[in-house]
Amino acid sequence: MLATHKNVISTALFSPLSVKVKAKKSINGETRISMAKKDNFSTKSTSNLSLKIVSQAIVAVLVLGFIDAGYSGDWSRIGVISKETEDLLKTAAFLVIPLCAFLIFSISKKGKK
């Protein structure tokens, strides 16, 4: 935090303390500086929320890759998987897609308890 003659600059990004700084002029013309602790969210809840979002995104990408491999035909055309494997993925998609949807919704409901 840097205090000059009439201005107060708070460097909250670089400071380990989260502090609000206000400079007020009193009735007699003096500058008064008041400091108060900032209201911030707990980092635990923020990291928990981001962990849920990341895990939901991983499951969504997994199911989208599964659908792409089974239904696009590109993977068998370039030789990554065989036609039989593509047919197997199409059949297995009827189990994998609902399972992944259930997993995504169950991850989102864990935080509400």
Is the pTM here over 0.75, yes or no?
A: no
For CA atoms 80, 84, 86, 92, the dihedral sign is negative
| pLDDT over 50 at 15, yes or no | no
Residue 89 burial (CB count, 10 A)? 19
**Which DSSP letter does residue 25 get?**
E
What are the domain boundaries of the chain? 2-37, 43-110
**Amino acid code (one letter) for 14:** F
- Bridge partners (DSSP) of residue 34 are 22
Per-residue pLDDT of 51-88, as tens digits, reads 888 999 999 999 999 889 888 988 889 999 999 999 99
- The pLDDT of residue 82 is 92
